[in-house]
Amino acid sequence: MMRTKDMKFKSIIILTLAAVFLTGCKSLYGQYERPEVKTSGLFRDSVSASDTLAVRDTSSFANIPWRSVFTDPQLQSLIQKGLDNNPDLLNAALNVQMAEAQLKAAKLSFLPSFTFSPQGTIASWDGGKATKTYQLPINASWNVDLFGNLLSQKRAAQVALLQSQDYQVSVKTNIIANIANMYYTLLMLDKQMEVIGDMEKLTKDTWEIMKLQKDAVVGVRSTAVQSAEANYYSVLTQKEDIKRQIRETENSLSLLIGQQAQTIARGRLDKQSLPTNFSTGIGIQLLKNRADVHAAEMNLAQCFYNVETARSKFYPNLTIAATGAFTNSGGVGITNPGSWLLSAVASLTQPIFMKGQLVAGLRVAEAQYKQAFNTWQNKVLSAGSEVSNALVLYNASDAKSKIEKKKIEVLKHNVEDTKALMASAGSTYLEVISAQSSLLNTELSKVSDDFSKMQAVVNLYYALGGGAK
C-alpha cells in the first residue's frame, strides 16, 4: 500500500515537472509577430492645417518604377551609372553576401561537427628498438537543440539577412534620389545663368543709355551713370557665383556616380516632365515600401530572437560526442598491426551559478528589444513626416511659381515703362534700377520654385520608398 502511494506521489511530481518544462519551453520556440505601431494619420493633408491625408485607393506613387518617374534619358543614364559604380551600393551588396554566409552557418549548426586529427609517435627506450604507433581518430560532436538556442540564432540570422537586403534597397533609393536632385539642381542653375545673361545685357544697355543721356540731357548726373554701372557689376558677380555652384554640383554628382569630376551632359529645366498627381497610399504601406522602415522592424525581430536565445541559456545543454579511431597503440583488447577503437559519451550541462551573467544577458537583450521598438516606431512616424513635407513643398512651390509668373509679366512692363519715362524725365534712374533688380530677383525666385517642385517629386518618391524597381 505504501509503495502504491509512493508511486502515485512520484507520478504527480513527474507530471508537474513536465508541465513546468513544457510551459517554460513554449516561449523559447515563439516566432516574431509585429507589435502594434502607430500608423493612423501618418500624412497631414497638404492643404488643411488640421486634417490628415485621406487616400481611398491603396496604389502608391512609390510603386512606379524610377524610369517612369525620371524620364529624361540623360538623367536615366546617370542614375544607371550610379547604381553600377557607387561604392556605398557595392558595399551594401557585400553586406548581403556576408549575411547569407552567416545564415548558412546558422543552419548548419544543427548538424554534428566532425574533426579528423591523425597522430603518429616514434619512441625508443634506453637505445632499444624504436616503437611506432599511430592513431587515425574521427571525432563527432552534436549539440542537441532541446531548448531552442540554435533555432533562435538561426531565426535571428534570417531576419539579419532581410535587414541587410533592406539596407541595400534603401541605399539604392537614396542614390537615385540624390542623383535626380543634383541633376535638377544643375538644370536650375543653367536656367538661372540664362536669366542672369539676359539681365546682364539689360543692365549694360541701361548703363550705356545713362552715359549718353549724361552728355545729351541736362539734369542727368554722373551719379546716375555710376549707379547703373554698379548695378551691371552686381549682375556679373551673381553670374560668377552661379558658375561656381555649377562646377561644384558637377563635381559632387561625378563623385556620386563613381567617376572623375567632369562636365555633366544634361537637358533643360523647362523640358522636364514629372508626375503631377500623387497617391500616397494607406499608412501601413510605409511598412512595406520603405526599406529603411522595414529594416528597422527586422532589427526589432532580431532583438526578439536574441531575447529567446538569452532565455534558452538558463536551460540544460545536451551534447553527444563520439570518437572512432583506427590505431595500433597497445592496450587491452587491441592487437597489432591495427584495430578500431570506438567510444561515445553524452553530457548534460545545467547552469546553476553563473555570477549573474545569464540574468544580465537576458536583461540587456530585453532592453535592446525595447530600444529597437522605439527606433522602429520613430522610423514610421518620420516616414509620414517626410511624405507630408514633400507634399507641402510641392503645393507651395507650385502656387508660388504661378504667382511669380504673373509678377514677372508686370515687372517686365514696369522696366520698359520706367525706361521710356526716364527718357522724358518722367522717372528717375533709381526707379529704372529698382525695376530691373525686382525683375531679376523674381525671375531667379521663379526658377528656384520650379526646381523646388521637381525636388518635391524626388523627395516624395523617396519618402514613399520608391526607387527599388
The C-alpha cell that represents 245 in the structure block: 555652384
pLDDT number for residue 375:
92
Q: For 406-464, what is each residue's pLDDT tens digit?
A: 999 999 988 888 877 766 655 566 787 888 889 889 999 999 999 999 999 998 888 88
pLDDT number for residue 219:
58
193 pLDDT more than 90: yes
143 pLDDT more than 50: yes
Q: Judge whether 444 and 190 are in contact, CB under 8 Å.
A: no
* Amino acid in position 23: T
Q: Report the mean per-residue pLDDT for the chain.
A: 81
Which structural domains are found in the chain, ordered by start? 58-117+148-315+350-463 (1.20.1600.10)
pLDDT number for residue 430:
74
The angle at the Cα of 241, spanning 82 to 431, to the nearest 5 degrees, equals: 135
Report the alpha-carbon distance of residue 135 to residue 341 in Å, rounded: 9
Q: Judge whether 253 and 186 are in contact, CB under 8 Å.
A: yes
* Amino acid in position 268: R
| Three-state DSSP state, 111 | coil
The average pLDDT across 396-412 equals 92
122 pLDDT more than 90: no
- Of the given ranges (131-140, 217-226, 250-259), which has the lowest mean pLDDT? 217-226
Report the alpha-carbon distance of residue 386 to residue 384 in Å, rounded: 5
The average pLDDT across 131-146 equals 81
The average pLDDT across 26-36 equals 74
pLDDT number for residue 116:
83
Report the alpha-carbon distance of residue 60 to residue 53 in Å, rounded: 13
